[in-house]
Structure 1
Amino acid sequence: MEGTMDTETRERRKVLVAEDDPFTQELLVMELRDAGYEVAAAPDGKRALEMVRDWAPDLVLLDIMMPELDGLSVLREIRSTERGASLPVILISARNAMDDKLTGLAEGANDYLTKPFDMREVLARVALQFRMKELEAKALEVERLRAVLEMAGAAAHELSQPITGALGHIYLMLNTEDAPDGRKLVSVEDLRAAESCLRRARETLLKMQSIRRYSVTEYREGIRIVDINRASDAE
């Protein structure tokens, strides 16, 4: 069952093979499909860029020496787009000198494979890139949840005092002795105080609604909350 689920997950992952050599392209496409990935191929750099834009692959295997547009130029174009900035790209090249590898990585490649390659290594490196993306997504989700908890803690902290104050004044008004004719004797000062407390609570909620950037402060040992007073509505 576990193997089946893994294959089903891979089928949703799209791999683009950008390779001009027909034999190498066919080998990569066949092996990746056998491994359960959805695969498409591009014979040159220009077509590779078009497919990155239109087909939206989850990973690109990119040969450096290609017609129309070389692999490094394709990589630069990919990295210049919002989606392409985080798209896993593995360079493939017959150049195995350290300077060539460092150049490829400096241009933004996630990995670098040299020809001739072992398909077991190719599949392992592709799987590793997807695993790293999964871990990155989980880390982002944990960070989002932590931000929600910190914001909730800030809300409880900031709203507790004005709401408690308003409830206290309302309690006093409700428990004030009635006038001889049965009317409630309500203090204007208590009404104003309750209004002030509720206004503070409303202002706090509006400020929290507009927060885009924030810092946290230690509330109690092991508990952090958003510092409302140092938060900003700027991106």
Structure 2
Amino acid sequence: MDKDRILIVEDEPDTLFILSKLLQKNNYDVSAAKNGKVALEMLETFKPLVVLADWTMPELDGLELCRRMKSSDDYKLIYYIILTARSSVNDRIKGLDVGADDFLIKPTDNQELLARIRSGVRINKLQNELKNIEHSKALIEMACTLGHKMNNPLSSLIFSFSHIEEEVRKSKRQDLDEDLLVVNESIARIRSLIEDLLKLKDPRLTDYSNDSKMLKLD
């Protein structure tokens, strides 16, 4: 079973070492960055459920890192905990305004830290489950809409084709038999596709090309 991933962003080596060892001991997959700039680079390959970041750091502090992450569709669901010695109401408001999910005041209690991490992991997973449910719901709604929209012109096509087929039979144009067969088979495939779209319950995507996917119907 994969371990839950945590990213620690801390410029003080001793604090970073202690936090890393504590979380690793509690079965987390931990990575560390010495400031917000390095953290943003790491996020391209390391996808954590929780970020634990110090407020005051060189180059890019924890507040600005939080603002950038919460402004990104790729990172905004990552649970963000600010670690700081600041405890005033105004400081908390600043953190909340940029999107921080939680605060821990230094020096931290290990059990409280672990409890906040567990809470962040649960919330992140629930948010992603909801996102997947909403995505599936949107795909089902799209499939039903397409199915109904395609069904009406297909009915007209079938009616017109039946009339054309009857006229061809009357004229005894045997040279058109193969063309009629191709059209008939195409209509059957379209009808089958519409049926698959309308009964879609568990939408799944499959690779279509290097940078795109398609809805799997079979």
* TM-score range for the pair, normalised by the shorter chain length: 0.5 to 0.7
Instruction: Find 2:89's aligned residue among 78, 89, 98.
Output: 98
The Cα shift of 1:102 comes to 1.5
Residues 152 and 171 of structure 1: CA distance in aligned 2, closer, same or farther (over 3 Å): same
Alpha-carbon RMSD across the aligned residues, in angstroms, is: 3.3
The Cα shift of 1:93 comes to 1.2
Mark the runs of 5 or more structure 1 residues left unpaired by the alignment. 1-7, 185-193, 206-235
**Is 1:140 paired with 2:131?**
yes
Q: How many residues align?
A: 177
The Cα shift of 1:89 comes to 2.0
**Other-structure match for 1:130:** 121
**Other-structure match for 1:115:** 106
The Cα shift of 1:88 comes to 2.7
**Other-structure match for 2:145:** 154
The Cα shift of 1:32 comes to 0.5
| Larger RCO, structure (CA 8 Å, separation 6 or more) | 2
Q: How many angstroms apart in 2 are the aligned matches of 1:178 and 1:52? A: 67
* Greater Rg over alpha carbons, structure: 1
TM-score computed with the length of structure 2 as normaliser: 0.64
Residues 68 and 151 of structure 1: CA distance in aligned 2, closer, same or farther (over 3 Å): closer
Residues 159 and 72 of structure 1: CA distance in aligned 2, closer, same or farther (over 3 Å): closer
Q: How many angstroms apart in 2 are the aligned matches of 1:159 and 1:53? A: 41
Residues 51 and 172 of structure 1: CA distance in aligned 2, closer, same or farther (over 3 Å): closer
- Counting aligned pairs with the same residue, the percent is 32
- What amino acid does structure 1 have at the position aligned with 2:117? V
Q: How many angstroms apart in 2 are the aligned matches of 1:165 and 1:178? A: 20
Tell me if structure 1 keeps the 8 A contact 2:7–2:30. Answer: yes
**Other-structure match for 2:172:** 183
Q: How many angstroms apart in 1 are the aligned matches of 2:21 and 2:116? A: 16
Q: How many angstroms apart in 1 are the aligned matches of 2:125 and 2:156? A: 47
Listed one character per residue, the Cα deviations across residues 27-74 of structure 1 (whole Å, up to 9, x for unaligned) are 311110011112233445555555455655443211123355543244
Mark the runs of 5 or more structure 2 residues left unpaired by the alignment. 174-182, 195-218
**Other-structure match for 1:71:** 62
